[in-house]
Amino acid sequence: MGKGKSKVVCGYPLSIFFIVVNEFCERFSYYGMRAVLVLYFKYFLRWDDDLATSIYHTFVALCYLTPILGAIVADSWLGKFKTIIYLSIVYAVGQVAMAVSAIHDITDSDRDGTPDSMTFHIVLSMVGLFLIALGTGGIKPCVAAFGGDQFGEHQDRQRRTFFSVFYLCINGGSLLSTIITPVLRAQECGIYSKQKCYSLAFGVPAALMVVALVVFIIGSGMYYKAEPQGNIMLDVCKCIGFAIKNRYRHRSKQYPKRQHWMDWAEEKYDKLLIAQIKMVLKVLFLYIPLPMFWTLFDQKGSRWTLQATTMDGNFGALVIQPDQMQTVNPILILTLVPIMDSLIYPLIKKCGLNFTPLKRMTVGMLLAAIAFVCAALVQIQIDVSTKQLLHSSPYILSGQGFIYFKLTIKGKANSDSTTVHNTDKATFTLRSGSQSCEYSTNFGFGSSYTFFIHSTLVFGSNCQDSVTAVEDIKPNSVHMALQIPQYFFITAGEVMFSVTGLEFSYSQAPSNMKAVLQAGWLFTVAIGNFIVLIVAELAKIPKQWAEYVLFASLLVAVCVIFSIMAYFYTYIDPTEIEAQFKKKINEDDEDDKSKPGKAEVEMVKRDSIKCHDEYDKATQTKM
């Protein structure tokens, strides 16, 4: 039986159906919008690659910073249910703002197809992104935990299944949206002039966020809504602050040393709380090198998508958009997770190898580094193929009875105004007053042409013979399929690193601090995205392939440090430690009652020693 007023279907509270559907729609909304974001920056707002990459990663970093805020609001003030409702409204408003910001007609007063006031579109989209980051990050730590709350204590198996289904929904939503929104973006729409339809690509995710909110509200009567328990994160910070202050006050040699600096909080705080904070600090220390993994991982949506815009997406019957390549990640997640769990890990175990969570995470980091080496190799290939500038001085001809115009064809995938499908025959109409004639030719992805029109051109006839097309840049010849190896390695890395890391954080966290560690985990994602900003903005490496190699090398270096730290980490069983502590504290209380005359200072010292003994005993087991 679940904890809410919900009906039970096949052993599961019906209420979780609404939570799972809500998650699917919300992840659809988030990943759908994120998939086209970098192209919106580049082609709608006309930012360069570095600025587009930087703002993209600032946004992702914000999305992973706000979970701390969401957890604090939910735990100490509103509770999870109200936090999810209020922040989902903020989130939906943000998505609508994004959709509106992408309507070029709003400021296109001269109706030439380009916005006249870019400031309006930039400001609105930045406000939209801020609200989305606040909403998506704020509800992130609440939704999964709220789902977990719906199960009774005896429903461990069902709760585990719920979390698996929840993860599948995340990736299902992400997969569908990264297929759909790039298709919507590639459509043309507009009132006065037709342009790439970013407003639709943002509008559908906005609609899905409204659906997510409505579905969640429909389930309202069935949920178990736990009251806010008080903010454990605040207690942890206060306890750490007190320990540091107390240690500083007793810095003179006359005071005996304590085994751990956190023990200086013993005068004011519960010994159990101190032991729990020690466990959390041990894991948080191990988190220090982790952001580097996310630095590489999250570039799928920025650098890799921009890389795909310079590649050929023609898969025969199917033309793949550059932003659609991101779907390879959720597709591989949905296939690799079951393969790893049911085949690879059991096989490794059968071979007698102890593939501990921290070893898996180390391998995950190495796989991500390999992915970036693959990306660098692909980039070198692209650079070689696009460097071929065939014609560079049209001025020579312009003085000889020719006029010329330059046209860059970026193919269906990424062009804005001069969209020509790969290998399509494009037709141009040349006009002079009321007279006109037509010229047709074939194009390829990413190619650039200069057209020379002879000044003796006779209108009214076919102007094919009076126009000479000179190919400046050859069409993209490097196929997008070459990105598959880098996607494979980064996703295999994600399965080993991220899925294992989440499970590790959960298993090593004390019962009341699981959310603290989850917030810490998400914080590493935020820092990882800030590192991309620093490198993209400060390093300004001229060659993209060299930047990829730099990131791969940094991750390998960090991976070596992490493996050393992991070697010295001792796995713990927080439940066992907590039980032993509670038992000891009860025994001590009984003891104290029977010996009322003991000096206080002696008591503190003795308790402190016991405290260390218990903690040390419980952390001796190395796996």
Ligand X SMILES: C[C@H](N)C(=O)N[C@@H](CC(=O)O)C(=O)O
Binding site for ligand X (CB under 6 A): 27, 170-171, 174, 329-330, 333
- 220: amino acid identity, one letter: S
Q: Which amino acid is at 614?
A: E
Determine the Cα–Cα distance for residues 221 and 500; give it in Å rounded to an integer.
35
Which residues lie closer than 8 Å to 158 by C-beta, 6 or more apart? 11, 12, 151
Residues 6+ apart with CB under 8 A from 533: 54, 57, 58, 61
Q: Which helix (H) or strand (E) holds 522?
A: helix 514-534
CB 544 within 8 A of CB 379: yes
346 burial via Cβ count (<10 Å: 0-12, 13-18, 19+): exposed
Structure tokens at 178: 């990264």
Q: Please give the Cα distance from 298 to 444 (Å, whole number).
A: 30
Provide φ and ψ at 497, rounded to 5°: -90, -55
Of the candidates 506, 156, 168, 141, the residue with the CA atom closest to the CA atom of residue 338: 168
Nearer to ligand X, 132 or 274 (CB): 132
**Whole-number minimum distance, CB 329 to ligand X, in Å?**
6
- Distance (Å) of CA 532 to CA 57, 299, 524, 529, 541: 7, 8, 13, 5, 12
Closer residue to ligand X (CB): 329 or 448: 329
Partners of 74 in beta bridges: none
Q: How far is the CB of 525 from ligand X (least distance, A)?
A: 7
- Widest Cα–Cα separation across the chain: 115
Comparing CB distances to ligand X, the nearer of 128 and 137 is: 137
Closer of 279 and 365 to ligand X (Cβ)? 365
Query: Considering the complex, what minimum distance in angstroms separates the CB of residue 591 from ligand X?
Result: 48
Nearer to ligand X, 27 or 514 (CB): 27
Annotate 202-218 with b (16+ C-beta within 10 A) or e (fewer): bbbbbbbbbbbbebbee
Residue 333 C-beta: closest distance to ligand X, Å: 5
Instruction: List residues bridging with 13 in a β-sheet.
Output: 8
How far apart are CB 321 and ligand X at their closest, in Å? 18
Identify the helix (H) or strand (E) that includes residue 162.
Answer: helix 156-186
Cβ distance 378 to 478 under 8 Å? Answer: yes
Least distance CB 146 / ligand X (angstroms): 14
Task: Write down the number of H helices and E strands in the chain.
Answer: 21, 11
Nearest approach, Cβ of residue 144 and ligand X (Å): 8
Instruction: For the CB of residue 151, give the shortest distance to ligand X in the complex, in Å.
Output: 20
- 3-state SS, residue 345: helix
What does DSSP assign to residue 440? Answer: E
Q: Closest CB to ligand X among 139 and 437? A: 139
The nearest distance, CB 225 to ligand X, in angstroms, is: 23
Closer residue to ligand X, CB minimum distance, 139 or 283: 139
| C-beta of 171 vs 309, nearer to ligand X | 171
Structure tokens of 507? 């298993």
Q: How far is the CB of 505 from ligand X (least distance, A)?
A: 13
The residue type found at 68 is I
The three-state secondary structure class of 432 is strand
Alpha helix stretches (DSSP H) within 219-309: 232-249, 271-287, 291-297, 303-308
Between CA 609 and CA 371 the distance in angstroms is 49
Which residue has the closest beta carbon to ligand X?
A: 174
- Residue 205 CB, nearest approach to ligand X (Å): 14
Share of the chain residues as helix, strand and coil, in percent rounded to the nearest 5: 70, 10, 25
- Least distance from ligand X to the Cβ atom of residue 63, Å: 8
Measured from the CB atom, the residue of 274 and 515 that comes closer to ligand X is 515
Residue closer to ligand X (CB basis): 306 or 526: 526
C-alpha 374/C-alpha 483 separation (Å) is 8
Q: Cβ atoms within 10 A of the Cβ of 82, count?
A: 15
- When the beta carbons of 27 and 410 are compared against ligand X, the nearer one is 27
* CA gap 438, 436 in Å, rounded: 7
Q: C-beta of 142: minimal distance to ligand X in Å?
A: 13
Q: In whole angstroms, how close is the CB of 71 to ligand X at the nearest point?
A: 15
Asked if 494 and 35 touch (Cβ cutoff 8 Å), the reply is: no
Q: Least distance from C-beta 27 to ligand X, angstroms?
A: 6
